[in-house]
Amino acid sequence: MSSIVSLACAWQDQSTKASAEALAKSLDLPCIQVEHSFDLPYSYILLVNDMALQIQPCGKKPPGTIYVDFSGGAVAHRRQYGGGQGQMIAKACGITQGIRPSIADVTAGLGRDAFVLASLGCHVQMIERSRIIYHLLNDGLERASHDLELSPIIARMALEHCDAVNWLKQRAEMAVEVCPQVVYLDPMFPHREKSALVKKEMLVFRDIVGADDDADALLEQALQVAQCRVVVKRPRKAPCLMNRAPSYQLEGKSSRFDIYALKKIT
């Protein structure tokens, strides 16, 4: 899926020029050098530097960059103090004492939910359809793989760039034993407003990726593939996908998990 806004790859230091040019070629984007100002004739730039691959909004007073970081910030805090297998996502995916199901996260995004599940001991196959978000996530995984504390977690995470519906259709034709026990969906909810209440990351995702208009098709295919259950993360008051009632729900303050139970996880 191509971006719905104007984008360019960019570099600041000579040391990252070649990497930026290679990325621009693979994404069929222009490649530019930037210095201190991001007031550019693009909506966003994909900035290649020594720290991380970053999405930088453009404009006179643009907000900060977005990049994947598994070693610090909210992700690290959640890993250390998030409640372990007592977390709602863990319960939704069937993680209990001695049970670590194989999971396919077919709407990987920035990989945070997949990282939580992998940090709890699950093997997680991530699917991301946006080439740009895929590169961002792949960059974060690569950097984290060199961290001695994180590398065992990253080793349980695999990433593939493809359309999730097609990936699920291919799995549906395979032997049951190679299908994931749990398929996890967190489709983009198609709000149209751009208020201050909407997170900066969500606005960027909507601009670059667009809404997940195939969310119903994702659920339909996931139910054909998952060995044990399909888990759908939704805004708390959003309708169920396919208008299909789940087996049960786990509800938080702003979101909920719809669980479609197929058989017991062992």
The CATH code of domain 73-261 reads 3.40.50.150
What are the tens digits of pLDDT across the range 107-145?
999 999 999 999 999 999 999 999 999 999 999 999 999
pLDDT at 2: 47
pLDDT under 70 in the chain at which residues? 1-4, 73, 76-78, 80-83, 190-199
Q: How far is CA 248 from the centre of its chain?
A: 24
**Nearest alpha-carbon partner for 127 in 183, 209, 205:** 183
CB-CB neighbours of 245 under 10 Å: 10
Where are the domains positioned within the chain? 7-57, 73-261
pLDDT at 77: 63
In whole angstroms, give the CA distance from residue 162 to residue 167.
7
pLDDT at 205: 81
pLDDT at 1: 43
pLDDT at 85: 82
What are the tens digits of pLDDT across the range 54-88?
999 999 988 889 999 998 767 766 676 666 788 99
